[in-house]
Amino acid sequence: MTTIALPSYEDATSRYETVIGLETHVELGTQTKMFCGCKTDFGAEPNTQVCPVCLALPGALPAMNGAAIEATIRIGLALNCDIAEWCRMARKNYFYPDMPKNFQTSQYDEPLCVDGHVDVVVDGKEYRIGIERVHIEEDTGKTLHVGGATGRIHGATESLVDYNRAGIPLVEIVTKPVPGLGELAPEVAKAYVAELRDIIRSLGVSDVRMEQGSLRCDVNTSLNKPGEEWGTRTETKNVNSLRSVERAVRSEVIRQAGVLDGGGKITQETRHFHEDRGDTSPGRSKETATDYRYFPEPDLVPIAPDPAWVAQLKSELPEKPSTKRARLREEWGISELDMQSVANAGAVELIEETIAAGASPAGARKWWMGELARRANELGIELSAAGATPAQVAALQKLVDEGKLNDKLARTVLEGVVAGEGDPAEVMAARGLEVVNDTGALTAAVDEAIAANPDIADKIRDGKVAAAGALVGAVMKTTRGQADAKTVRELILARLGVS
Amino acid sequence: MAAISREEVAHLARLSRLAVTEEELDRFAGQLDVILQSVARVGEVAAEDIPPTSHSVPLTNVYREDVPAPSLAQDAALSGAPDAYEGRFRVPRILDEED
């Protein structure tokens, strides 16, 4: 295999224009599946949340979940879409064991919601992402390929299927093609998915957790030379984190530029994103829409939402996340740039809840944007999954405010909290981490430090107060970091008669 | 002219993962053609003012409450399967679908 020389990302975007499009699937958080009363709990034993309908046993008939229809309409309204006055479900026929019916009940040319938009801000500039359609369908079962070394189907001898997920309501949100983003395409794509996630979370219709697959994203990318028609697009699947959205677009731009530079053509295909390598590899060649032989679902009657009901749902939409961010930014007294970082880190609600649990805005922000954001980044997980709850962070900050923990000890306590050792107070007790406030013990340690460093003590007595740092260090060492540095410093100066 | 070609039948058979012999292709193409021609006659009587019908009953908005109902037990769910392993349906490897 010949290796094509790949250009740098900057080089690629200086010579090619990008067009991106995003298809996002959101698993709704309804109690039951789309067409039957089976539960939708995550992580249940395989094939324990299944029934004749979702297993497609002969004679079983679907019954539509009204709550899923309402949730889809609310998503459509929050994305500024028009809601169809009348539309139908459709059968998408394909033969693969992830759907026992041999078709997926979806929508085709009559989506429930059409023609909306989402505005996102990147580097202080606003971009409008058009929404082509929002439709309702059902999720597929989970297949596990066994017999091969890689866990993928290549080399596998058989597949094991769990239908617990089959039939869970799934909302598909498709953007219009987005041209003209230049080198910012990856960042805008990421910002769009983050905004979409925040909007849907604010509606309370899904937990939108990428790491659990309740929000999944496919990224379409194409390149063209300036002034020329849009190029052939590829569809990248398996993009399972916000960071991956950005990386997937970037790597596909570089790859396609390399192919085009070499005089090659882009094949319209599905590609798989590899989290570990940060690039994509070709997947199955896509069946065309006619191959799916869509037709109106005869077992489900049309959906015709009452306009008065839709108007009521619209009037009851929650505050838009962007409006809320502007309001919180005022309340927290931080810059727009800082607020954007908070939003991009998925920390708005977490900080809000931490403040509600009693922490100051600065204290709450410090932990979520510091230690916890760092951890989430390193592990490539969502901040909400970093291992601490808002209540725990608020409790930690309270211990700091009360002087029971200094900054360094608080970090250690937080490590214990995320390691699952319990609430901050429990970790503190179990690990014996408390600031030494016993003045007698501290004074003894201070006197010891002074006695051991007579030269430094003399300097301080002569007015060189800055030298106290060395003695503070010595005391911190004997107290194993469990003293408050400020108190120690005051104590040293007092003992040496210079305060 | 035939309403469906032999090639279209072969294509549909492939999409449905059905192994169809050459003789069967000829036979099915002929049979399907008769069916399609018969159905097409309905179109001849449908005037401009008759919209296509997808449902025979004039109902809309039939919904179920979002309330859980009992599911099948795992062994019951798997009882009709030709093969199962550790609570999952076991199926042959599907070729040519992914890399």
Residue ranges covered by each domain of chain B: 1-46
List CB contacts (< 8 A) between B88 and chain A.
46-47, 144, 160-162
Interacting residues of A99 by C-beta distance below 8 A, sequence separation 6+: A56, A140, A141, A166
Measured between CA atoms, the residue of chain A closest to residue B95 is: A153
What CATH architecture is A439-495? Orthogonal Bundle (1.10)
Tell me the two tokens of residue A149. 């070394």
- Residue A485: how many other CB atoms lie within 10 Å: 17
Give Cα separations from A5 to A9, A253, A254, A258 (angstroms): 13, 14, 10, 6
Q: Which residue ranges does chain A devote to CATH 1.10.10.410?
A: 439-495
CB distance A122 to A139 below 8 Å: no
Pairing of strands A64-65, B63-64: parallel
pLDDT by residue, tens only, chain A of 499 residues: 456 679 999 999 999 999 999 999 999 999 999 999 999 998 899 999 999 999 999 999 999 999 999 999 999 999 999 999 999 999 999 988 999 999 999 999 999 999 999 999 888 899 999 999 999 999 999 998 887 655 555 566 889 999 999 999 999 999 999 999 999 999 999 999 999 999 999 999 998 988 888 999 999 999 999 999 999 999 998 798 888 999 999 999 999 999 999 999 999 988 999 988 888 888 766 556 678 999 999 999 999 999 999 999 999 999 999 899 999 999 999 998 899 889 878 899 899 999 999 999 999 999 999 999 999 888 878 888 899 999 999 999 999 988 888 888 899 999 999 999 999 999 988 887 777 766 777 888 888 888 888 888 888 888 888 888 888 888 888 887 778 788 888 888 888 887 6
Kindly tell me the burial class for residue A1, based on how many C-beta atoms sit within 10 Å of its own C-beta (0-12, 13-18, 19 or more).
exposed
Measured between CA atoms, the residue of chain B closest to residue A303 is: B61
Query: Max Cα separation, chain A?
Result: 96
Q: Do the Cβ atoms of B62 and A52 come within 8 Å?
A: no
CB distance A31 to B68 below 8 Å: yes
List CB contacts (< 8 A) between B14 and chain A.
none
* Torsion angles phi and psi, residue A96, rounded to 5: -155, 140
A13-40 core/surface letters (b: 16 or more CB in 10 A; e: else): beebbbbbbbbbbbbbbbebbbbbbbbb
The predicted model scores a pTM of: 0.79
* Torsion angles phi and psi, residue A184, rounded to 5: -85, 0
Give Cα separations from A191 to A166, A198, A279, A387 (angstroms): 30, 10, 20, 24
Of A48, A153, A301, the CB nearest to B62: A301
Q: What is the DSSP letter of B11?
A: H
Å between B88 CA and nearest CA of chain A: 5
What CATH architecture is B1-46? Orthogonal Bundle (1.10)
Q: Do the Cβ atoms of A301 and B57 come within 8 Å?
A: yes
CB distance A219 to A236 below 8 Å: yes
**pLDDT at position A352:** 94
**pLDDT at position B21:** 95
Best to test chain B binding among A41, A47, A159 (most B CBs inside 10 Å): A47
Sign of CA dihedral A449, A451, A453, A457: positive
Distance separating alpha carbons of residues A49 and B83, to the nearest angstrom: 19
Distance separating alpha carbons of residues A88 and A157, to the nearest angstrom: 39
Interacting residues of A269 by C-beta distance below 8 A, sequence separation 6+: A234, A235, A282, A283, A285, A286
CB distance A75 to A200 below 8 Å: yes
Best to test chain A binding among B4, B67, B71 (most A CBs inside 10 Å): B71
SS3 state of residue B89:
strand
**pLDDT at position B99:** 35
Distance separating alpha carbons of residues A472 and A485, to the nearest angstrom: 7
Distance separating alpha carbons of residues B15 and A95, to the nearest angstrom: 7
Å between B18 CA and nearest CA of chain A: 10
Which residue's entry shows tokens 């510091």?
A: A370
Q: What are B16-39's pLDDT values in tens digits?
A: 889 999 999 999 999 999 999 998
Query: Which A residues in the span 322-381 are in contact with B, Cβ-Cβ below 8 Å?
Result: none
Distance separating alpha carbons of residues A212 and A476, to the nearest angstrom: 44
Of B61, B71, B80, the CB nearest to A48: B71
Of A37, A163, A304, the CB nearest to B61: A304
Q: Do the Cβ atoms of B62 and A63 come within 8 Å?
A: yes
Which residues sit opposite A417 in a β-bridge?
Answer: none
pLDDT for residue B98 is more than 50: no
Does the beta carbon of B94 lie under 8 angstroms from any beta carbon of chain A? yes
Q: What is the ipTM of this complex?
A: 0.90
Q: Do the Cβ atoms of B60 and A45 come within 8 Å?
A: no
Closest by Cα among A145, A164, A168, A144 to A47: A164
Query: Which B residues in the span 22-41 are in contact with A, Cβ-Cβ below 8 Å?
Result: none
Higher per-residue pLDDT: A336 or B9: B9
CB distance A115 to A81 below 8 Å: yes
List CB contacts (< 8 A) between A300 and chain B.
62
* Torsion angles phi and psi, residue A437, rounded to 5: -105, -5
CB distance B89 to A97 below 8 Å: yes
Distance separating alpha carbons of residues A460 and A446, to the nearest angstrom: 14
Distance separating alpha carbons of residues A309 and A311, to the nearest angstrom: 5
List CB contacts (< 8 A) between B69 and chain A.
32, 36-38, 51
- Count the residues in chain A: 499
List CB contacts (< 8 A) between B63 and chain A.
63-66, 69
CA dihedral A42→A43→A44→A47, nearest 10 degrees, is 90
Distance separating alpha carbons of residues A18 and A250, to the nearest angstrom: 10
Q: Do the Cβ atoms of B64 and A64 come within 8 Å?
A: yes
Query: Which B residues in the span 50-89 are in contact with A, Cβ-Cβ below 8 Å?
Result: 54-55, 57, 59-74, 77-78, 80, 85-89
List CB contacts (< 8 A) between A296 and chain B.
54-55
Does the beta carbon of A493 lie under 8 angstroms from any beta carbon of chain B? no
CB distance A62 to A299 below 8 Å: yes
List CB contacts (< 8 A) between A51 and chain B.
69-72
